Amino acid sequence: MTPETIEADGVRLRPFRLDDVADTAVACADPATQRGISGMPDPYTEQDAREWITEGAPAAWAGGGAAYAIADPTTDRLLGGIGLSHPAPARNQCEIGYWVAPWARGRGVATAATRALAEHAFAAGYARLELLTNEENGASQRVALAAGFRREGARRSANPSRGGGRHDLIAWVRLADDPPGATARLLPDLPDGRLTDGVVTLRRLAPADADLMYRLHSRPEVVANQAPPVPPSRAAIVRRCRLAESQWLTGALARMLILDAASGTPAGSCGLSVSDPGAAEGTVGYALLPEWRGRGHATRAVRLLAGWAFGPVGLARLAAGTTPENVASHRVLGKVGFRREGLLRGRLPGLDGTRVDDLVFGLLPADLG
């Protein structure tokens, strides 16, 4: 590829220039940029920016890749950077990556630039593009989806973390003959970021919810209804909260916090997974803190969750599994309209090699009460 200027989708992709040094230094020193690209120098100085523009970017071009500045098409001011790396000519494949300056975020700059460069790469003969994101970087994953990339899998411990250790990367791929437009999601965002009936509100689980989630899911009565009934570690709960957005975006699981609508106080958690996409079937689960039980909050939360599942998500059936002894949960499901469908003997793992029965309930849209 040659460093020609690309004008498309409201952005300009052009070669870096020395007058980009100051903006590049500020943007790449930004904490969000540093978190997203662990290999960047820290602190990032104007000298680092100058070396990138005079040595790093030209080396990318010389190696068969690309290194573009993303610029405002009206003012030509730097908005970010995007490029192609790790070219594999024998497979007609390369990797695409980007960063966006703080003053340009929230404007669709990364999506527009990624679409533009992807189309340019395909026109140049590439057949396959890879985009790798940190598993906790929801913003970058949203760009991948909006630019038409599809999740292909996780690369375990593929990248060094700042401060030591390693972390997984999610691999997103777009092919030259993939249909245009954004990639469809199994689990859409909540309307206005929440579901509410005026008494109970549901919102997506967030990293800041780790303390509450650990308090809830380490309670003996909650643990007893898990399979296997083993208390989670605090580290596992922290990771669960950090990955909640990624799991939602990739269609694995929609984890939500249950809030009392009047006070905004957390009351519990619930979740929906698309257990069988081909059959349009999902599975729900929920748990409440002791002080909120007996007030109807669980019933309201499951009803809200089911309405969203049958509406925007487009599912045709929901299932819920409980232990046979969990009578309180049976009551909640019954009030929502779930019907008992059968006992699956020894379906779930218990302690010390034992097996636990699973009492299954089902709900169809017409049953929702």
Q: How do the domains of the chain map onto residue ranges?
A: 6-175, 191-367
Tell me the whole-structure pTM to 2 decimals: 0.91
Does domain 6-175 correspond to CATH entry 3.40.630.30? yes
With tokens 């960047």, the residue in question is 40
Pairing of strands 200-204, 166-175: unpaired
- CA 167 to chain CA mean position, Å: 15
Query: Which of 202, 307, 207, 201 is closest to 254 using CA atoms?
Result: 202
Structure tokens at 197: 């009936």
Query: Which of 206, 294, 221, 290 is closest to 256 using CA atoms?
Result: 206
Q: Do domains 6-175 and 191-367 have the same CATH topology?
A: yes
DSSP state of 86: E
In this structure, which topology does domain 191-367 adopt according to CATH? Aminopeptidase (3.40.630)
Structure tokens at 104: 């340009």
With tokens 């003969």, the residue in question is 125
- Beta strands (DSSP E) in 212-306 are 254-260, 266-276, 281-288
Q: What is the pLDDT along the chain (369 residues), one digit of tens a residue?
A: 778 899 988 999 999 999 999 999 999 999 999 988 888 899 999 999 999 999 999 999 999 999 999 999 999 999 999 999 999 999 999 999 999 999 999 999 999 999 999 999 999 999 999 999 999 999 999 999 999 999 999 999 999 888 788 999 999 999 999 999 999 999 999 999 999 999 999 999 999 999 999 999 999 999 988 888 999 999 999 999 999 999 999 999 999 999 999 999 999 999 999 999 999 999 999 999 999 999 999 999 999 999 999 999 999 999 999 999 999 999 999 999 999 999 999 999 998 889 999 999 999 999 997
Q: Which residues of 6-37 are buried (b: 16+ CB within 10 A; e: fewer)?
A: beeeebbbbbbeeebbebbbbbbbbeebbebb
Backbone angles phi, psi at 201, to 5 degrees: -125, 140
Structure tokens at 55: 């040595």
Transcribe 99-160 into DSSP letters.
EE-GGGTTTTHHHHHHHHHHHHHHHTT--EEEEEEETT-HHHHHHHHHTT-EEEEEEEEEEE
Q: Which residues of 267-285 are buried (b: 16+ CB within 10 A; e: fewer)?
A: bbbbbbbbeeeeeebbbbb
